[in-house]
Amino acid sequence: MNGAQAVVACLREQGVDTVFGYPGGMILPLYDALYDSKEIKQVLVTHEQNAAHAADGYARASGKVGVCIATSGPGATNLVTGLATAFMDSIPVVAITGQVDTTLLGRDAFQETDILDVTMPITKHNYKIKDARHLLSTIREAFTLAKKGRPGPVLVDVPRDLFFQEVAWEEVPACTKKVGKPDADFLICAAEAAREIVKAQRPVVIVGGGVVSAGATAEVTAFVEKYNLPVAHTLMGLGAIPREHPQSLGFAGMHGEKAANHAIAAADLIIAIGSRFGDRQTGNVKKYTQDTKFIHIDIDPAEIDKNIGNSLGLAGDMKVILGLLMKQEAVGNIDEWWQQIQSWKETYDYDYHVNRLTVPWALHQVAQNTKGKPYAFATDVGQHQMWAALHLRIEEPRTWLTSGGLGTMGFGLAAAMGAQMYYGDSRRVIHVAGDGGIKMTGNEFYTIARLNLPVISLIVNNTSLGMIRQLQKVMYKERYIACEFDYQMDYAAYAGSFGIKAETVSTQEEFAEALNRALADQDHPRVIVLNVWRSFVEPMIKGGARIDEFVEFK
């Protein structure tokens, strides 16, 4: 077989059934080999950035490695934002890019770009193959590396002429995974952590995206139930345990729920599981850490003490670590702490009794109408993303797809498409976007319509870049610039131009009726455009403040 056929065979071997991409001259031999493949579906997107986001969304939904392909030069560079998004959120993606022939490397040939140097800071690893004999081993290594330890994106750059060279197929060598036993020092640290948990008067667990990546939701749930611990979620940690679990405090951070933020601020012990203590989570780090002890559980040793110093760090397999903690005796009484937390929850419970269409109200209706049913949610980035985190109720892992670390506008639609490709008929994706982000990647409605994927898109039209406008109000004395869309756009007509049934709503009654119609139409994509007042996401912590010090909007 030739190199292109070997790559396709290797993809099948790795369990790949879907690839997202856009052809060009240097990757065309691989497309030609895909022509003969019945097992792998290739999805032609409208832009390479969306190929990376779709592969990312597929990976988040499935737990498998997502795959995207692109040609050299602009094709490869268009993947960059998507790869950076996956890198920041630790999502396993393999990108295969075509490159100019080996004889032309370094000669500034047509569409030649050194994509390795471009992507080095935003990939877990990258490769340029210069010998066809290394094709199979490199592709296999890329998949292993993407999944191993802390997941992440890996790029493989293949010069076009290697696709035509003969490659001898070799079966993947059998390997036996050896499970190492924790050493004595690690066992001592785990025992110390258990003692700190039992001793704490005001403990709080923070669950992050690492819990979802590790497939450790059952273990984390069992752990918090054994020790009777309250649990807050980072943005990436939504779904790590069910939002309706009685010990869940909900979303915490810059725009987190007040009860969750108050609990974290008052805690004497914070147990972070699969969370990197990002700045949007902590606010002012000095105030965040004042009078608080930390236990940090993460797969990546580099995360221990990176953002929060002097924590009791347990780096390694999350399931193994939680298993060790579960062996300890759970004693202690934190009834008074739970009473305080319950008081905060009651005080700051959100009131959905409003007499006009608002995004929180609409998302609450979505949550009520999808409760207990097979749905997943993908968001873009901005105000609507924070409202979704606050007002949707994410009950299962891998049903919440959002760009947390990079904050990539335009992520949501392509990610929803990738997730829907994985789910098929088993689960439906509801996508939430703003009128800013949808202008960036809304062209992917074309692919969604062409493939008749039953994604429901909710477009929040507040004629502005809402989060920019909010920051300008809070930090720049309401000096609004470059944030308002004064020129009106008909988003329903835009979606309709692709053949998607779309409606525009301005009242609660109109939205409720449109949502019912969209949910009932199980076989087609739908779009609902929400014309809403410009408003601000609440809560919001003050800049440079403690996590429980909030901006008061007038």
What is the structure's pLDDT at 283? 87
Q: What is the mean pLDDT of the chain?
A: 94
Tens digits of residue pLDDT in 213-246? 999 999 999 999 999 999 999 999 999 999 999 9
DSSP string, 147-171: HSSS--EEEEEEEGGGGTSB----P
Cβ-in-10-Å burial (0-12, 13-18, 19+) of 368 comes to exposed
- The most confident of 57-66, 289-298, 535-544, by mean pLDDT: 57-66
Mean pLDDT of 342-346: 96
* Closest alpha carbon to 207 in 394, 78, 75, 12: 394
Fold of domain 359-531: Rossmann fold (3.40.50)
Mean pLDDT of 9-35: 97
How far apart (Å, rounded) are the C-alpha atoms in residues 377 and 388? 9
Put the strands of the sheet holding 66-70 in their side by side order: 41-44, 18-21, 66-70, 93-99, 153-159, 125-128
68-82, 171-185, 369-383, 501-515: least confidently modelled range: 171-185
Mean pLDDT of 412-429: 98
What is the structure's pLDDT at 179? 53
Contacts of 110 (CB under 8 A, 6+ apart): 73, 100
Report domain 184-348's class: alpha beta
Would you say the CATH fold of 359-531 matches that of 184-348? yes
Residue 293 belongs to what H/E stretch?
A: strand 293-298
What is the structure's pLDDT at 403? 97
pTM (2 d.p.): 0.95
Contacts of 151 (CB under 8 A, 6+ apart): 90, 91, 92, 124, 213
Structural domain 3-164, CATH architecture: 3-Layer(aba) Sandwich (3.40)
What is the structure's pLDDT at 178? 55
Over its C-alpha atoms, the chain yields an Rg (Å, rounded) of 24
What is the structure's pLDDT at 155? 98
Distance of CA 110 to the CA centre of its chain: 35
Mean pLDDT of 416-431: 98
What is the structure's pLDDT at 421? 98
Tens digits of residue pLDDT in 145-202? 999 999 999 999 999 999 999 999 888 765 555 556 677 777 888 889 989 999 999 9
Cβ-in-10-Å burial (0-12, 13-18, 19+) of 485 comes to middle
Mean pLDDT of 344-363: 96
Higher-pLDDT residue of 104, 401: 401
Higher-pLDDT residue of 552, 11: 11
pLDDT over 70 (residue 33): yes
Residue type, 525: P
Tens digits of residue pLDDT in 437-493? 999 999 999 999 999 999 999 999 999 999 999 999 999 999 999 999 989 999 999
The domain locations on the chain are 3-164, 184-348, 359-531
